[in-house]
Amino acid sequence: MNAWSDNDDLAGVSQPTNHMSLAQVSCFSIMHRRYAATWTRLVSRELDAIKQAGTWKTERVIASRQGAKITVKGSEKPVINFCANNYLGLSAHPEVIKASVEAAEKRGAGLSSVRFICGTQDIHKELEEQLARFHSREDAILYASCFDANAGLFETLLTSEDAVFSDELNHASIIDGVRLSKAVRYRYKHRDMNHLEQLLGDSQERMKLITTDGVFSMDGNVAPLREITELADRYGAIVFVDECHATGFFGETGRGTEQFLGIQGRADIINSTLGKALGGAVGGYTTGPKCLIDLLRQRSRPYLFSNSLPPTAIGGATRVLELIDENPEILQRIKENTELFRSEMTSAGFKVLGDSHPICPVWLGDAKLAAAMADAMLHQGIYVIGFSYPVVPKNQARIRVQISGAHSEEDINTAVEAFIRTGKDMKIV
Between residues 34 and 93, which one has the greater pLDDT? 93
Q: What is the pLDDT of residue 12?
A: 45
Q: How far apart are CA 131 and CA 135, in angstroms?
A: 6
| Cα–Cα nearest to 352, from 277, 392, 404, 402 | 402
pLDDT digits (tens, 9 = 90+) for 89-136: 999 999 999 999 999 999 999 999 999 999 999 999 999 999 999 999
Q: What is the pLDDT of residue 354?
A: 95
Q: How far apart are CA 241 and CA 134, in angstroms?
A: 15
Q: What is the pLDDT of residue 54?
A: 73
Task: Give phi and psi for 282, each to the nearest 5.
Answer: -155, 155
Q: Does the pLDDT of residue 41 top 90, yes or no?
A: no
Q: How far apart are CA 63 and CA 97, in angstroms?
A: 17
Beta bridge partners of 72: 62
Helix (H, G, I), strand (E, B) or coil at 401: strand
- Are 110 and 311 within 8 A, CB to CB? yes
- Are 285 and 274 within 8 A, CB to CB? yes
> Band of the pLDDT at 7, cuts 50, 70, 90?
very low
Helix (H, G, I), strand (E, B) or coil at 79: strand
Distance of CA 190 to the CA centre of its chain: 18
- Are 363 and 393 within 8 A, CB to CB? no
Q: How far apart are CA 344 and CA 350, in angstroms?
A: 9
Q: Does the pLDDT of residue 73 top 70, yes or no?
A: yes
Q: State the virtual CA torsion across 176, 177, 183, 188 in degrees, nearest 10.
A: -60
> Band of the pLDDT at 60, cuts 50, 70, 90?
confident
Which helix (H) or strand (E) segment holds residue 336: the answer is helix 329-347
Q: Please classify residue 48 by burial: count the beta carbons closer than 10 Å to its beta carbon, then call 0-12 exposed, 13-18 middle and 19+ buried.
A: exposed
Catalytic (active-site) positions: 217, 245, 276
Q: Where are the beta strands (DSSP E) in 291-357?
A: none
Please state, rounded to an integer, the average pLDDT across all residues of the chain.
Answer: 93
Q: What is the pLDDT of residue 6?
A: 38
> Which amino acid would we find at residue 188?
Y
Q: How far apart are CA 67 and CA 80, in angstroms?
A: 8
Q: Does the pLDDT of residue 272 top 50, yes or no?
A: yes
| Cα–Cα nearest to 381, from 77, 58, 63, 67 | 77
Using only C-alpha atoms, the chain has a radius of gyration, in whole angstroms, of: 24
